[in-house]
Each structure stands twice: as structure tokens, then as C-alpha cells.
Chains A and B, each alone.
Chain A
């Protein structure tokens, strides 16, 4: 029984971080209809930022998000303004190639600067945990889960209550109609891309005390973010949150009750089943 609850809890906690990556991707997709294949690499940059802030300036990785969020927001906005904006109306395969290319440039630049060595960020609490009824709760994961929850709530409020948030949602629903209603669609795209990058960077910072950092780490998380986004319903923030947690639990449970070597298979079978029976994703609305 302890094994069951332990893996459930681990799954939920790690799922929280997955959710954050997924939300970033889903916002970018929702507004621009572009699948950002550089998403994992943006997260990787967040990890390196957290790592360097910690080793060079002694900033705690969880506190460092205060710096990382605006920096990554600017980075994402810049990417949108310089590159993505130019191909909004291009063929989908060109858009995919552009984001893949950007990702490659990011990971290889980081490799030139930091070499391909694994960086391990060891804080005082990196391997500490709290024991609750025989179930151990990883402290850094619990903290990052709490931060994720807070960020998701803030985002929700932002999208529902603020003018900018509503304008972004309007752009996501119908770009042309939004433009006709006087919404500055270009600016909304820039904001959306910035928010997406900031979320990915934050996810990187949050996971950095418990995970390891190297330039090629992005691709694995891009794939995961993609699965989460599709699973939750493309463009849906709530769906991405749910998708992240579902994937986290599926991985964790799959590892215990089948075999850790097969946990990715479990995730992808789950993914296929959802695509078969609810093609628009858990929270997605069909677009026809």
C-alpha cells in the first residue's frame, strides 16, 4: 500500500513540473498555431540560468525564478519578434524546421559555452525529504509543486480577469476576428511567446535542484511537453495541467507495476488511447 501511495505522490509531484512545461507550450500553440520544438531547449536555458545564478551568485534556485521569469520572458518575446513572427503564415513544415533549428542553435551554443559535462546543482536540501506515514516527500519537489500551483493559479487569473489575458484568449480563438475587434494581435503573440518561454524557463529552474543539467536535455522534455499538450487538448491551459499530472502518475505507476524500462511505453499507450477515443484531448474542444 505504501508503494502505491508513494508512487502516486511522486507522480503527482513530478507531474506538476511537467504541467508547467506543457502550459508554456500550449499557450504558444494556442495563440500562434505553431508547435514550438525548441520548448525543451528553452527550458534547458532556464536550467543553466538557475545553475549559474546559484554557483556564481549564490542565489537559491527557487528564488532565482524572480530573475529567470523576466529574462526568459524577454528571450521568448525576442524569439517571436525576430524569427517566429516572420513565418506565421508559412507552411507548417517550415515552421517546424524553424523551431527545431532554433532549438539546435540553443543547445549547441550552450555546449560551446558550458561543454557537455553534466552539471549537478547541489543545494542543502537537494536530497532531503519529509516522512509522512511512511511515505517520503521530496522537499525540493514539494516546494516546486507548490510554486507550480501558485503560478498556474496566477495564470488562470491573468487569462480570465485581465484585459491582456482576455485579449490573448481572443487571439487564440480567432486571430482575424480579434484583429477586427481592435486587438493588437502582434503584441499578443509576443506576450504569449514570452509567457511560454518564461514558464519553460521556470520549469527548468524548479527542476534543477533535483535533476541534472546538460545541453541536450531539451529534446526529451520537448517530446514530453508535446505529449502533455496533445493529451490535455491543444491550447487548453487547464488541459495541460491535467495532462502533466496524468503523465507524471502514469510514468510513476508504470515504473512500479510494470517495469521502469516500460514506463515510456505506458505513457505512449495512454496517449494513443486518448487520441483514439477523445481525439481533441482531455479538455480540448473540437475545432470543426
Chain B
């Protein structure tokens, strides 16, 4: 009898840690699920959902704790506190906006929780020497440099005008863009930040038109991109090229407005026609499942979740081990090669190759760098009809 008990006890003792090991790894997600940034936030949510499916196929059960920051840094911060202290997650993926990600980064360092930022571009996020903060996407300086490089390879622009929203994303992208164009010998003729959500940019655009810039560089989220281009057409602003810095200029909604979006150049972190492993397949699956085209945010979030969950599962949910494994690891997926390196003042930053795409007849075509190009660039910008 006694022996029997011991045997049962031993079996249980063996099983318990096994089940604990096979139990789901807990990962937190902070994203803008509601609020003004929700249309793009939805892409991140969907990308993460696809990642969860794929992880399951690989035998990794992920227990996701979803937190909605509504686009506000203070809410993102309280979400992080909750995830770090009460939920005890192994790692966090998110938040979407730069302002939220930058605020949360400080907390992840304080609570020692690995944070993988999928798509926020503000440079400072990975420029503060944080050990626990990792970033998938290329930071804001690359947004500008890849676009300027692309146009410099196409023509000989001399002057450039900037119009951008006065948020972390807009100012940060533009600040480095200005430094970069000065290095390249371009002259900045207009520098116009705007507060987003106003119905009328005509007066600002008229001011820019009077300066006759060769390039017009814009940074905005979804709907402002459409308004800016509509009103640019109305007043007849005619540069050699319109450059859109990510976000609003990379959405299907924008491309659909063919009258105004045709031939606009924008930079992106990802397209589904690029040769990175699984990119095309991801695009097709996303479309089939959600009935929409994915933006680059979806791909960034997908790959971030894949990496974070796999690393955390291998480290059995241990935060310190996860952090070390993220630092040492190397991946090759739909975002191309991913490695979290230290360079040019950045820490744990994936030196991601950004792409330039042009909207041609309502479709995004990759046009730069050459090895990823699917179509030839239309340059200069054709006259408004």
C-alpha cells in the first residue's frame, strides 16, 4: 500500500513540472485597439492573432494578455505596470505609437520585463541604452534617408518642403530628415508642423506652393494623408515628388483614392511582394482571414510576436533568460533577417532594411532598393489633371 502511494506520488511529482513546462507562455500585448489610432492598431492586433496560430502549430501555446492603450501614453504605462507586476508576463510586445512606446520603455527597464517594440519609429526609444527594450522596425531616421536616397537616385532635386503632424512620430521623423537632407546638399524651404485633425491645410499648402519646392515630404497618420494630398491637388502644388513618411501613406485606404494617391512615393517596413521568407504567404493568409490588405504594421507585429513567444518559451518564461536570448538570437522570417544589434547610438535595434514603394493605379509597387523592386518608378510626379 505504502509503495503504491509512493509510486503515485512519484508519478504526480514527475507530471506536475511537466505540465507546468507545457503550460502556455504568458506574453503581454499593448496596442491602440480603440481611439484615434485604432485603424492602424487593428493591423497589429490581427498580425499578432496570426502569429498566435502559427505558434500553436509549432507547439507553443501563447497566453496573450491584451491591453488597450487607446493611443495615450499614460494608459499604456498603467497597462505595462499591470502586465509586469500583476500578470507576471514573460515579455511584452507593443505599444504601437511612438509616444506610448517611449513611455513604456522606461517602465520595462524599471520592472525588468523584455519589451519588443514592433512598429514605433521614434529614435529615442532604442537610443537610451536600455537593456530590456528591443525594436523590430527601422527607426525614424531611416524613413527619411531611404526616401531621399531613392529620389536622389532618380533626379536632381535641390529644395525640399516639410509638412508633418506635431506628434512624436512626425517631429522625430522630420528632425532627422532635415539633418539628412542638409548632409545631402538639399535646401529646406519650408518646415510646417501641423496639429492633426484640422479640416483645412490649404493655407499651409499654399504657403509651401509659393516656395516652389522640388520635393514635398509629409508625415501623417491615416486620414490626414488623404486630406493633405486632396488639398495639394486643389491648390495645384506640383513638386517633382511627393514623399510620404510611412503610416498614413502606406494604407490601402490611401491607395484606393487613385485620383490623389497615384505616383506618391512612400517608405515602408514591409511589402508582400518582397523576397523575405513567408512574406507573400503572410499577405495572402491575412487577406483571406481578415478580408483586408495588411499594412507593414501587421507584419512587424506578427514577426515580433513570433520572436518574443519563441524566445520566452525556450527560456521557460524566465525574463532574464528571455532578454539574453533576444540579444543573442538571429531570425529570418517575413521581415527579413532580424538581429538586435548595437550601432550608431542604438541599443537592441534591428538594423532593418526599409523599402520605398510607389502607388501606381491604386497598388503599392516596391521601387527601391533595386534588388527588391517590382516596378520602375514614375518620376517626376506627373502634372495634376
Contact = CB atoms under 8 A, between A and B. Distances in A.
A6 B253 CA distance: 29
Interface in A100-142: 111, 115-118, 120, 122, 126-129, 131, 136, 138
B210 interface: yes
Interface string B177-216: 0000000000000001111011111111011001000000
A232 to B, nearest CB: 20
Interface in B14-62: 34-36, 38-39, 42
A122 B75 CA distance: 35
Contacts of A214: 36, 39, 223
Contact of A251 (B38, B163, B198, B222): B198
A115 B36 CA distance: 11
B63 interface: no
Interface in A209-231: 210-212, 214, 216, 220
A11 B199 CA distance: 11
B48 to A, nearest CB: 18
Contacts of B227: 210-212
A252 interface: yes
Given A117-B39, A212-B226, A216-B35, A7 B257 contact: no
Interface stretch (B94-102, B231-239, B313-321, B367-375): B231-239
A138 B39 contact: no
A128 B259 CA distance: 10
A111 B68 CA distance: 15
Given A214-B223, A260-B193, A261-B166, A255 B253 contact: no
A259 B42 CA distance: 32
B234 A138 contact: yes
Contact of A111 (B34, B207, B235): B34
B120 to A, nearest CB: 19
A115 B40 CA distance: 12
A79 interface: no
Contacts, number: 116
Contact of A14 (B199, B204, B210): B199
A220 B199 CA distance: 11
B234 A118 contact: no
B295 to A, nearest CB: 13
B204 A260 contact: yes
Contacts of B34: 111, 116
Given A3-B206, A10-B203, A116 B235 contact: no
B232 to A, nearest CB: 9
Contact of A120 (B35, B38, B202, B226): B226
Interface residues of B, number: 38
Give chain A's interface residue range (CB within 8 Å of chain B). Answer: 35 or more
Nearest to B234: A129
Interface in A232-288: 248, 251-253, 255-256, 259-261, 263-264
Contacts of B161: none
Nearest to B221: A118
Nearest to B32: A116
Contacts of A49: none
**A contacts with B: majority SS:** helix
Nearest to A253: B203
A2 interface: yes
Contacts of A198: none
A207 interface: yes
A122 B202 CA distance: 18
Interface in A159-179: none
Contacts of A120: 223, 226, 253, 257
A126 B261 CA distance: 14
Contacts of A207: 199
Contacts of A251: 198, 200
A131 B198 contact: no
A136 B207 contact: no
Among B39, B206, B223, B236, the one with the most A-chain Cβ atoms within 10 Å of its Cβ is B206
Contacts of A131: 236
A234 B201 CA distance: 29
A255 B226 CA distance: 19
Contacts of B202: 6-7, 10, 136, 138, 252
Given A120-B253, A138-B202, A220 B197 contact: yes
Contact of A256 (B166, B204, B257): B204
A214 B199 CA distance: 13
Contacts of A248: 200
A136 B202 CA distance: 9
B200 A216 contact: no
B79 interface: no
Given A129-B235, A260-B201, 9 more contacts: A115-B42, A116-B38, A116-B42, A127-B230, A128-B234, A212-B226, A255-B203, A260-B204, A263-B194
Interface of A: 2-3, 6-7, 10-11, 14, 17, 111, 115-118, 120, 122, 126-129, 131, 136, 138, 207, 210-212, 214, 216, 220, 248, 251-253, 255-256, 259-261, 263-264
Closest 5 CB pairs of A and B: A7-B203, A260-B194, A212-B223, A116-B38, A261-B193
